Structure 1
Amino acid sequence: MYGAELAEIYELVHRGRGKNYATETTEVAKHVWARKPDAASLLDVACGTGGHLAFFAELFDDVEGLDMSEAMLAVARRRRAARTLHHGDMRTFALDRRFDAITCMFGSIGYLASAAELDAALARFAGHLVPGGVVAIDPWWFPETFIEGYVSADVVTVDERTVARVSHSRREGDASRMHVHYVVADARSGARHFTETHLISLFPRAGYEAAFRRAGLTVDYIGGVQSGRGLFVGQRD
Structure 2
Amino acid sequence: MSFNALYTDLSDYYDLMCADINYYQQSASINRLHTLFGQGGTRHLDLACGTGPHVKHFSDFLYQSSGLDINQPMLDIATLRCPHAQFSLQDMCHFSTEDHFDLITCFLYSIHYSGNTQRLQACIRSTHAALSTGGVFCFNAVDKDKIDNFSFVKHSVQKGEDLFTFASKWHYKGKGDTQTLDVHIEKTNTRETQYWQDSHPMVAIGFEELTQLLAPYFNVQMFEHDYDKILPWDGKSGNAIFACVKI
**TM-score, reference length from structure 1:** 0.88
TM-superposed deviation, 1:166: 3.0
TM-superposed deviation, 1:100: 0.6
Q: Which amino acid aligns with 2:12?
A: E
- Matching residue of 1:179: 182
- Matching residue of 2:114: 112
Correspondent of 1:138 among 129, 137, 140: 140
TM-superposed deviation, 1:149: 2.3
- Matching residue of 1:8: 12
- Matching residue of 2:241: 231
Contact 1:150 1:170 in 2 (8 A): no
Q: What is the alpha-carbon distance in structure 2 between the residues aligned to residue 198 and residue 226 of structure 1?
A: 25
Contact 2:39 2:102 in 1 (8 A): no
Equivalent positions of 1:36-51 (< 5 A) are 36=38, 38-51=40-53
Q: Which runs of 5+ in 1 are unaligned?
A: none
Contact 1:64 1:82 in 2 (8 A): no
Question: Over aligned residues, Cα RMSD in angstroms?
Answer: 2.2
How many residue pairs align between the two structures? 232
Q: What is the alpha-carbon distance in structure 1 between the residues aligned to residue 88 and residue 201 of structure 2?
A: 24
Please say which of residues 85-94 and 190-199 is displaced more in the overlay.
190-199
Q: In structure 2, do the counterparts of structure 1 residues 43 and 205 end up closer, same or farther at CA, with 3 Å as the change threshold? A: same
- Matching residue of 1:162: 163
- Matching residue of 2:148: 147
Contact 1:41 1:60 in 2 (8 A): no
3-state secondary structure, aligned to 2:111: helix
Please say which of residues 97-106 and 3-12 is displaced more in the overlay.
3-12
CA deviation string 1:117-149 (max 9, x = no partner): 11111111110111111111111x202321122
- Matching residue of 2:231: none
CA deviation string 1:208-236 (max 9, x = no partner): 2112222x211111123259722111111
Q: Which amino acid aligns with 1:137?
A: F
Q: Which amino acid aligns with 1:131?
A: T
Query: Identity over the aligned pairs, expressed in percent?
Result: 20
Q: Which runs of 5+ in 2 are unaligned?
A: 229-236
Q: What is the alpha-carbon distance in structure 2 between the residues aligned to residue 180 and residue 144 of structure 1?
A: 21
CA deviation string 1:136-184 (max 9, x = no partner): 1111x20232112223332211454421123454323333323322122
